[in-house]
Structure 1
Amino acid sequence: MAELLYRLGKFSARRAWTVIVAWLVVLGIAVGGFLIGFKGLTTSFDVPGTAAGAVVEELTHKLPDYAGASGTVVFRTDDGSALSDTQKKGISSLIADADGLPDVSGVIDPFSTEAERAAQQAKVTDGQTRLAAGQSQLDAAKAQLAAGQQQLDAAKAQLQSAPAGSMPAEQLAAAQAKLAAQQKTIDDGLAQLATQQKQLTAQQKQLDQGAELLKLSKDIRMVSSDGSTALVNVAFTKPRLELSETSKQAVIDHFESTRITGVTVSFSTDIAQGVPQIVGLGEAVGVVFAAIVLIVVLGSVVAAALPIVTALFGVAVAALGSLAFSGVVDMASVTPVLAIMLGLAVGIDYSLFIVNRHRKQLLEGAEPRESIGLANGTSGNAVVFAGTTVVVALLALNVTGVPFLGLMGTVGAIAVVLAVLIAVTLTPAILGLLKLRVLSRRARARVGQVHHDDTAAKPMKTWRAVVTAVSAAVVLLIVAIPALSMRVGLPDGSSEPVGSTTYEAFTVTEKAFGAGTTGPLLVTAAAKQAVAADDVTSVQLDIARALADQKDVVAVAPIAVSGDRTLFAFQVVPEEGPNSVSTENLVNALRDLAPIDGAYRLGVSGQTAINLDISANLASVLPLYLTVVVGLSLLIMILVFRSILVPLIATGGFILSLFATYGAITALFQWGWGADALGIHTGPILSFLPVILVGILFGLAMDYQLFLASGMREAYVHGASARLAVVKGVRAGRSVVIAAGLIMISVFGGFIFSESTMIRSIGFGLAFGVLVDAFVVRMLLMPALMHLLGRSVWWLPKWLDRIMPNVDVEGAALERRQHVPAPAVAQAEAAAEPARA
C-alpha cells in the first residue's frame, strides 16, 4: 500500500492539473446529480417492527382514515381575548377550502366540533329531562292502574261474599263478565306500562352511557376554555413516512394564504418540523478557528489554506452527491449534516497529516516531488488505515437493522472515503503546484538545516504514570455518572428553535389545553368476534372506563369503530407531554393491560407512541452495534500494531471516553447544567445519538491511537526500550494529534450553535468526545498504561505473528527500501544498528 501511495503521490504532483480537473469533473457530476435528483429531506424517523407500527398496519386495513399522518394548525388571538365571530368565520372559511389540498383526507372545524359536543350534551340533558317526565307519567299511570286494581279486587271480594241465590244467575254472570273485562283492561295496561318501562330503561341506559362518555372526554377540547385558541386537526391519506414535504407545505401555504386580523397561526411538528440549516455561522466560526490552528502548526497561510480548501471540496462532493439520491431513498434531514461534520473534520485532519509530513521533509532538504511521494506513502498510508477504521465503524451501522441509521452511516462513510481519496490525490497535486511555497519565507531560508534530535528523551517516572492513569480514569468515571440516568427520545415541538412556528404551536397548545394535548395517544381495542350493533356503545364505555382508570390519563374519547365492528379506536390524552416519563410509563402500562373484559386486546399508536418505540428499539441495538464495531476494529488494530494489549488498551480507553461523553450530554441536554447559557431546551437525549457516537468516536479515537502508537512501535522495533519508545512516539505525534484534535473540536463545536437541538446535541457529543479521547485518553491514559506494562504491551503469540501479514502503517519500509531517508530517519536507523548486532 505504501509503495502504491508513493507512486500515486508523485503522479499527482507531476500531473497536478490532470488530477485537479478530474476532481472538478467529479464535483460537476455531483452538482448535476443534485440538480436532477434532489427531492427534499424528511424530518421523520422510522424503525421497522415496532408495536405502534403493527397498530398502524391494523388501522390501514380496518380504519384507513386513522392510519395516515395527522397534524395540528393552531389559531390564537394576539391579545389573548376570545375569538370573535368574524375571526371564527375566517378560520372556518379556510377549513372549508382545504379539502382539495394534496394528500389531505379531512380537516376538522373546531367550532363545529365544539358545537356538536354542546348539542350532544344538550341532547343528553334534554333526553334525561324527557325521560324523567316520562317516568313520572309512567309512575302515575302505574298508580292509577294499581288503584283500579284495588277497586276491582274489592268488587270481586264483594261479589264473592254475596249469599248464594241472592242474585239471579243472569245478573251474577253479567257482573262476573264485567269484572273480568275490567281485569283484562288493567292487565293490558300493566303490560303496556311494562313495555314502556323497558323502553324507558333502555333509553335511560343509553343516555347514561352517553353522558358518561361525554364526561370522560370533556377535557378533549378543540377550542380553549377562554375561547382564545382553536386547534384545527388535519388528517392525511398517507402515513407519516410516505407523506411528502410538498403536501405538508401545501397545508402551511393554504392556512397562511389569508391573514385573519388579530390572529396568529402556527403549525405542529407533524406538519412544519423544519429541515435544519445545514451550514450556519457557528460552523463558519469553527472553520475559522481550525484555520488559526493550522497556521500555528504549519507556519504558513498558504499551507494552512490547503487542508481547508480540500476538505471543503470533499464536503461539497459528499453532500451534493448524497442529496442527489434523496428522491430514491427517504433521507433524514440530519444525514447530510453528519456528512458535512465528518467531511470537514477528517478532511482537514487527513490533509494536515500529509502536508505536515511533506513540510518537515522539505525543511530537511528533500526534493519537492520526492517529498510529496514519500509523504503520501508514509502519512498517506496511515491516513488510509485511519480512514478505514472510521468507515468500518460507520458502515457497521447497517447491522442495526434501522434503515435511517444505516443510511446515515453509509453517507458518512462515503464522506470519509472521499476525504481519504482527496487527501492522497488532490492534496499531493496542489502541493506539486505550490512547490516550496508551502513553506513560509523564513522557513525556506532554513531548508536543509533542520534536524530532529530526540536523544535527550527519557522514559516518564513510574509513579507519574500511576498517578496519570488513575487520575484520568477517575475523572472520566466521574464525568460519566450522569449517563446512568440517561433517557432517550425524539425531539418534539419544545425542542424546536424559540420563535419558530412549531415551537409556538407546541407552547400555545400546552398552555391553552394542557401538556398532554401536545402528544395524544391513539389506542385501539381489537375484538376476536364482531360486536352486536346494540352493544357497541356499551363496549366503548367499558373500554373507555378501563383506559380512564389508568394513572396519568386526563381524558378518553371513542373516535371510530370498524365496519365489521371488530376494531375500536380511542383518543387518550395523557397528563404530561410526549417526552415525559409519565407518558412513557402510560404507554407501557396500556400495552401491559390484560384484554378488557377478557375479549378486547389493546394496542397503542400515535406519534408519541411511535417515537417511544423508535427510541426503545434504537437503545436495544446499541450493545450489538458496540460489539460489532469493537470486534472488527480490534482485528484491524491487532493487524496494524502486531500486539494484543495495545488494541485492548485503546478499546478500554475509548469505552471510558464514550461513557464520559454520554454523561456530559446527559448533564447538559437532560439535566440542564449550563443549558440556559447556550439556549438549549432540556429533554430526553436524541434516541439515535448514543449509537451514532459509538461509530464516529470509535473511528476517530483509533485515528489518534494509530498516529501515536505507530510511532511508539516504530521506535521500539528500531531498538528503543519499550518505555522509551512510549515517550518517543508521543513526542513524534503529539503536535499533529493536538492540532488534529483541536481542529475536530472546533469543527464539531461549531454545530453546537445550530438552531436545531438535534444538530446541537450531535455537535456537542462529537466535540466533547474528541476532547476527552484525544487529550485525556490518547495523550495521558494510554501512554501511562503502556509505560506500566513495559515490553509486555507488544506481546503477540508466535503462531499469530507467523500467519499475520506485515502491515507497515507508517511506511518505514518504503523509506528504507526505495528512497533516501530523511536525516532524522537515518539517525534513528544508525542508532538501532548496535541493538540489532
Structure 2
Amino acid sequence: MSRYLFGLGRLVARRRWWVLAVWVVLLAGAIGFAVGTGGKTTDSFTVPGTESQDAVSLLQQRMPAFSGAQMQVVFATPGMVKVTDSQPSAQIEQVMAELKGLSQAAAVVDPFQAKTVSPDQRVALGSVQFSVSAGEVTEETLGEVDRIAEPARDAGLEVEFSGAVYPGFTAEVPETPEIFGIAAAFGILLITFGAVVAAGLPIVTALIGVGIGLTGILGVASFVDVPAAATSLALMLGLSCGIDYALFILSRHRHNIVLGIPAAESIPLAVGTAGSSVVFAAVTVIIALCGLSVAGIPFLTVMGLTAAGAVLVAMLVALTLLPALLGFAGGTVARFISPPLHPGRPQEVARIAAYEPERTVGHAWGRFVTRFRIPLLVLGIAVLGVLAVPVTRIHLGLPSGESQPESSTAHKAYDLASRSFGPGFNGPLLVVTDLSNATSQDAAQTVMSRLRQEPNVAAVQPGGTGDGLVLIQVVPKTGPDDTATADLVSRLRDDRADIVNGTGATYLIGGTTAANIDTSNRLAEALPVFLAVVVGLALVLLTIAFRTVLVPLSSIVGFILSVFAALGAQVAVFQWGWGADLFGVVKTQTLSFLPIIILAIIFGLSSDYQIFVVSRIKEEHSRTADAITSVQNGVAHSARVVTAAALIMFAVFVAFTTVDNPIVKPLAFTLAVGVLLDAFIVRLTLVPAVMALIGNRMWYHPRWFARYVPDLDIEGVELERRFERDAEAEVPQSFTGTS
C-alpha cells in the first residue's frame, strides 16, 4: 500500500494547483447542491416491521387524517385563577378554535369537551392531530401555532406545547461548539508543532472536508429522511477525524524536514508511511459506521452512512489536498515560533524528537510503562472496570419532554401535565381497533371496558372513528420513559386475544410512546449482533494490518473496556444524575441508539490510535528485534502525536456537550469520555504494557499464516528502506516508490 500512496503523494504535490482547484470546485458544487435542493433534516423516527409502524400504516390506508403527528397543548393559570373562570376559558376556547383553522390540522380536541381539566382546575390539556408526519409539518404551520398562542400568553395564561411536533421541536445546533472546537484544536496543534503554518494546515483542510460533507448531507436530505442528529454526528467526526488524519501525515512530514530531507521528497514519503495508517484507520471507521445498517432501522442506517461519508471525505482531503498545500508551504511548516519566555524551545523539542528520541517525554513514558507493566495493567483494567459498572443498570429509551432542557416548552408542558394529571398523560398509547369483523354493536365499548381493567391504566378515552376503525387512547399511570409503561405495552399485546375475545375486533398498539418502546427493543436486540460484527471485523482488519493474532486480541479487549467504561460514565451522569448540575444535563434514560453508535465510533477511533501506536512499535521491532526497546521507541515516536490527536477529538466532542439537545449532548459526552480513556489508558498504557509483558511472541505467526495473509506494509518500512538506499546512492531522483 505504501508505494501507491507514495506515488499519490508525489503526484498531488507536483500538480498542487490542479488538486487545489478540484477541491475548490467540489466545495462550491456541494454548497450549490445543498442550496439548490433545499434539503432539511427531520426528527421523526420510523422502524419498519414493528407493531407501532403497522398501526401507522393501517391508519394511512383507512384513516389518513389520523396517521400524522400529534401535538399536546397545555394551558395553566397563575395564582388562584382557574381555567374554568370566564376570561381564561374564553382565551382557551379561542386558541383551540383558531388551531382548527391550521392547514395541516386534521382534528383539534378542546380540553373542556374532552374534560381534561385538572382536579384543582389550574391546568387544561388540549391536542391537535396533524394529517402529516412530524417531519412534514411546515415551519409556517408551527409559526402560526406560536402566533395563535401569543394573545393568551399576553392575557396571563401559560401556554406550553409537547408531543411529536411543536414549535421549536427542531432546535438547530448553534455554531459555538464548532468555533470552540476549532480554537482548541488550533491551540493544541500550535503547542504540538510550534509553528503557525503547521498548526493551521490541518484546520484548513478539515474545514474544507466538513464543508463538503455537511452540504452534501443537506443535499441528500431532500431525497431521503436524514435525522437532525446525523448532521451533528457528521460534523463532530468530520472535524475531529479531518484534523487528526492531517496531523498524522503532517507530523511525519515535519519530522522528515527536521531530519534534513527536502520538502519535495518528504511529502510523498510522509503520505506513503503515515498515509497508510490514515487509510487503514479511516476505512475501519467507515466500515464500522456502515455496519450500523445491521440493526435494520432506517434512521440509524442513514446516520451511519452520512457519518461514514464525512469520514471518507476527511481521509481523501488528508491524502490529496493536504500534500498539495504542503507543496505550497515548502519549508514554512518547520518555521518555528519563538515564545518570549522560552525562545527557541519549539525548535529544540523538534530536533530532540528527530535525533534523540530517547530524551523525549514519550520515551520516558515508554520506559515507565515497560518497567511497571504488571501494576499498570492491574490498575488500568480496574479503573475501566469500575467505570463500566453502571452499564449493568442501563435503561434505554428515546427523548421525551422530560429529557428536553428545563427552559424548553416541551419540558414545561411535561411537568405541568405530570403534576396535574399524572406522568402517563405525557405519553398516551394509541389502540387502533379494527371493527370490520365485529360481532356486536358494542364491541368497541367492550374492548375499552377491558382495557380499563388492565393494571397500570389510568384512563381510557375514545379518540376518533372512521372506515371501520376506532381509535382508543390508553393513558398509563406511569410516564413514557418508565419501564412499567413498556411492560404495559407488552402486556396489552400479549393479552390481545383475551381483551377482544367474543367481540370479533382486532387491535394494534401504536402512538409515539409505543413507537419509542418498539425502537428501543429493536435496538437492544440488534446490539449483540452488531457487537459480534464489530469484534469480528476488528479481528480481521487488525490481523491483516499487523500479520499477527495477539495484537488484534489485545486491541479488541481494550476497545471493549473503553466502550463499556464510556457508557458507564454516561449512565452515571445522564441516568443517575451524578454531576448533572456540573455538566448541565437533565436526568433521563439512556438513548436507545446511543450504545450501538458508540460501539461503532469508539471502535473506529480506537483502531486509529491502535494502528498509529502499534505501527511505530512494529516499525521499531523490525529494526531492533527487541520487544522492550521497540515499545519504548515506538511510544516515544507516537505519544506526542496521539496525545495531540486525542486531545483535539476530546475538545471537539466536549464543545458539543454545551448544546442543549437531548441527542447531541449525551452522544458528545460519551464520545469525549471514550476517546480520552481509550487513547491514554488503553493505547498508550495497557497495549504497550501487554506488548512488553508478552515480548517478541507478540509478533509470532506460523509459516502458513504468512502465505495467506497479505503484507500491506502499513508502517512503510520497505518504503523507507528503499528511500534510504537511494539516498545513500545519491540518486533520489530515480526513486520510483516501487517495492
RMSD, aligned CA: 2.6
2:530 matched to 1:622?
no
Number of positions where the alignment pairs a residue of Structure 1 with one of Structure 2: 710
Question: Secondary structure at 1:45's aligned position in 2?
Answer: coil
Structure 1's 706 and 449: CA in aligned 2 closer, same or farther, altered over 3 A? closer
**1:697: how far off?**
0.5
Name the stretch that deviates more: 4-13 or 643-652. 4-13
2:422 matched to 1:514?
yes
1:38-59 Cα offsets, whole Å, 9 max, x none, are 3322111221111212233334
1:201-225 Cα offsets, whole Å, 9 max, x none, are xxxxxxxxxxxxxxxxxxxx1x333
1:295-335 Cα offsets, whole Å, 9 max, x none, are 11111222212212211221111111111111111111100
**Could you tell me which residue of structure 2 aligns to residue 330 of structure 1?**
225
1:228-256 Cα offsets, whole Å, 9 max, x none, are 33322111223446555555455444444
- 1:234 counterpart letter in structure 2: V
Tell me how far apart the structure 2 counterparts of residues 262 and 13 of structure 1 sit (CA, whole Å).
Answer: 68
**Could you tell me which residue of structure 1 aligns to residue 125 of structure 2?**
231
Tell me how far apart the structure 2 counterparts of residues 73 and 557 of structure 1 sit (CA, whole Å).
Answer: 17
**Could you tell me which residue of structure 1 aligns to residue 71 of structure 2?**
71
CA contact (8 A) 2:66 2:106 kept: no
1:748-795 Cα offsets, whole Å, 9 max, x none, are 111111111211100011001111111111111111112222222112
**1:111: how far off?**
2.7
2:458 maps to which of 541, 549, 554: 554
1:595 maps to which of 479, 498, 512: 498
Map 1:441-520 → 2, pairs under 5 A: 442=344, 451-453=354-356, 464-520=372-428
Tell me how far apart the structure 1 counterparts of residues 721 and 33 of structure 2 sit (CA, whole Å).
Answer: 45
2:28 matched to 1:28?
yes
CA contact (8 A) 1:372 1:432 kept: yes
**Could you tell me which residue of structure 1 aligns to residue 19 of structure 2?**
19
Tell me how far apart the structure 2 counterparts of residues 746 and 649 of structure 1 sit (CA, whole Å).
Answer: 27
2:722 matched to 1:784?
no
Tell me how far apart the structure 1 counterparts of residues 411 and 648 of structure 2 sit (CA, whole Å).
Answer: 33
**Could you tell me which residue of structure 1 aligns to residue 620 of structure 2?**
715
1:670-713 Cα offsets, whole Å, 9 max, x none, are 11111122221111101111010011110000010001111111
Structure 1's 784 and 75: CA in aligned 2 closer, same or farther, altered over 3 A? same
Tell me how far apart the structure 1 counterparts of residues 440 and 284 of structure 2 sit (CA, whole Å).
Answer: 63
- 1:236 counterpart letter in structure 2: F
Name the stretch that deviates more: 598-607 or 618-627. 598-607
CA contact (8 A) 1:670 1:684 kept: yes
CA contact (8 A) 1:672 1:682 kept: yes
1:371-422 Cα offsets, whole Å, 9 max, x none, are 1121111112211111111111111112221111111111111111111111
**Could you tell me which residue of structure 2 aligns to residue 137 of structure 1?**
none
2:696 matched to 1:794?
no
**1:100: how far off?**
4.0
CA contact (8 A) 1:540 1:558 kept: no
CA contact (8 A) 2:396 2:591 kept: yes
Question: Secondary structure at 1:598's aligned position in 2?
Answer: coil
**1:358: how far off?**
1.3
- 2:214 counterpart letter in structure 1: A
Name the stretch that deviates more: 376-385 or 788-797. 788-797
Structure 1's 713 and 76: CA in aligned 2 closer, same or farther, altered over 3 A? same
Tell me how far apart the structure 1 counterparts of residues 437 and 113 of structure 2 sit (CA, whole Å).
Answer: 35
Which one has a bigger Cα radius of gyration? 1
Tell me how far apart the structure 1 counterparts of residues 227 and 670 of structure 2 sit (CA, whole Å).
Answer: 19
CA contact (8 A) 1:59 1:66 kept: yes
1:705-762 Cα offsets, whole Å, 9 max, x none, are 0011111111222232123322222222111111111111111111111111211100
**1:531: how far off?**
2.8
1:601-631 Cα offsets, whole Å, 9 max, x none, are 5532111111111111011111111222222
Tell me how far apart the structure 1 counterparts of residues 307 and 35 of structure 2 sit (CA, whole Å).
Answer: 21
Q: What TM-score do you get using the length of structure 1 for normalisation? A: 0.80
Structure 1's 525 and 346: CA in aligned 2 closer, same or farther, altered over 3 A? same
**1:80: how far off?**
5.7
1:633-674 Cα offsets, whole Å, 9 max, x none, are 321111110001111110111011111111111111111111
**1:34: how far off?**
1.2
CA contact (8 A) 1:9 1:428 kept: yes
**Could you tell me which residue of structure 2 aligns to residue 577 of structure 1?**
479
**Could you tell me which residue of structure 2 aligns to residue 263 of structure 1?**
157
**1:342: how far off?**
0.1
**Could you tell me which residue of structure 2 aligns to residue 398 of structure 1?**
293
Tell me how far apart the structure 2 counterparts of residues 422 and 370 of structure 1 sit (CA, whole Å).
Answer: 20
CA contact (8 A) 2:370 2:632 kept: no
**1:807: how far off?**
0.6
Structure 1's 597 and 289: CA in aligned 2 closer, same or farther, altered over 3 A? closer
Structure 1's 354 and 462: CA in aligned 2 closer, same or farther, altered over 3 A? closer
- 1:500 counterpart letter in structure 2: S
Name the stretch that deviates more: 336-345 or 780-789. 780-789
Tell me how far apart the structure 1 counterparts of residues 569 and 152 of structure 2 sit (CA, whole Å).
Answer: 47
Tell me how far apart the structure 2 counterparts of residues 693 and 461 of structure 1 sit (CA, whole Å).
Answer: 28
- 2:89 counterpart letter in structure 1: K
- 2:437 counterpart letter in structure 1: Q
Question: Secondary structure at 1:673's aligned position in 2?
Answer: coil
Tell me how far apart the structure 1 counterparts of residues 350 and 501 of structure 2 sit (CA, whole Å).
Answer: 88
- 2:122 counterpart letter in structure 1: S
**Could you tell me which residue of structure 1 aligns to residue 110 of structure 2?**
109
CA contact (8 A) 1:693 1:765 kept: yes
CA contact (8 A) 1:477 1:660 kept: yes
2:649 matched to 1:757?
no
Question: Secondary structure at 1:523's aligned position in 2?
Answer: strand
**Could you tell me which residue of structure 2 aligns to residue 635 of structure 1?**
540
2:709 matched to 1:804?
yes
2:280 maps to which of 364, 368, 385: 385
Tell me how far apart the structure 1 counterparts of residues 62 and 610 of structure 2 sit (CA, whole Å).
Answer: 57
- 2:103 counterpart letter in structure 1: P
- 1:319 counterpart letter in structure 2: L
Tell me how far apart the structure 2 counterparts of residues 524 and 395 of structure 1 sit (CA, whole Å).
Answer: 35
**1:112: how far off?**
3.6
Tell me how far apart the structure 1 counterparts of residues 110 and 621 of structure 2 sit (CA, whole Å).
Answer: 78
Tell me how far apart the structure 1 counterparts of residues 435 and 217 of structure 2 sit (CA, whole Å).
Answer: 46
Structure 1's 353 and 341: CA in aligned 2 closer, same or farther, altered over 3 A? same
Name the stretch that deviates more: 484-493 or 442-451. 442-451
Name the stretch that deviates more: 318-327 or 83-92. 83-92
- 1:44 counterpart letter in structure 2: S
Map 1:158-177 → 2, pairs under 5 A: none
- 1:268 counterpart letter in structure 2: S
1:312-367 Cα offsets, whole Å, 9 max, x none, are 22111111111111111111110010000001111111111111111111111111
- 2:106 counterpart letter in structure 1: S
Structure 1's 560 and 614: CA in aligned 2 closer, same or farther, altered over 3 A? same
Runs of 4+ off more than 6 Å? 443-450, 455-463, 820-823
Tell me how far apart the structure 1 counterparts of residues 350 and 357 of structure 2 sit (CA, whole Å).
Answer: 20
Tell me how far apart the structure 1 counterparts of residues 241 and 320 of structure 2 sit (CA, whole Å).
Answer: 15
**1:551: how far off?**
2.4
Tell me how far apart the structure 2 counterparts of residues 69 and 813 of structure 1 sit (CA, whole Å).
Answer: 61
- 2:164 counterpart letter in structure 1: D
- 1:582 counterpart letter in structure 2: A
Tell me how far apart the structure 1 counterparts of residues 358 and 577 of structure 2 sit (CA, whole Å).
Answer: 50
CA contact (8 A) 1:619 1:687 kept: yes
CA contact (8 A) 2:500 2:506 kept: no
**Could you tell me which residue of structure 2 aligns to residue 212 of structure 1?**
none
Tell me how far apart the structure 2 counterparts of residues 622 and 668 of structure 1 sit (CA, whole Å).
Answer: 22
Q: What TM-score do you get using the length of structure 2 for normalisation? A: 0.90
CA contact (8 A) 2:5 2:268 kept: yes
- 2:654 counterpart letter in structure 1: G
CA contact (8 A) 1:276 1:333 kept: no
1:161-212 Cα offsets, whole Å, 9 max, x none, are xxxxxxxxxxxxxxxxxxxxxxxxxxxxxxxxxxxxxxxxxxxxxxxxxxxx
CA contact (8 A) 2:194 2:347 kept: no
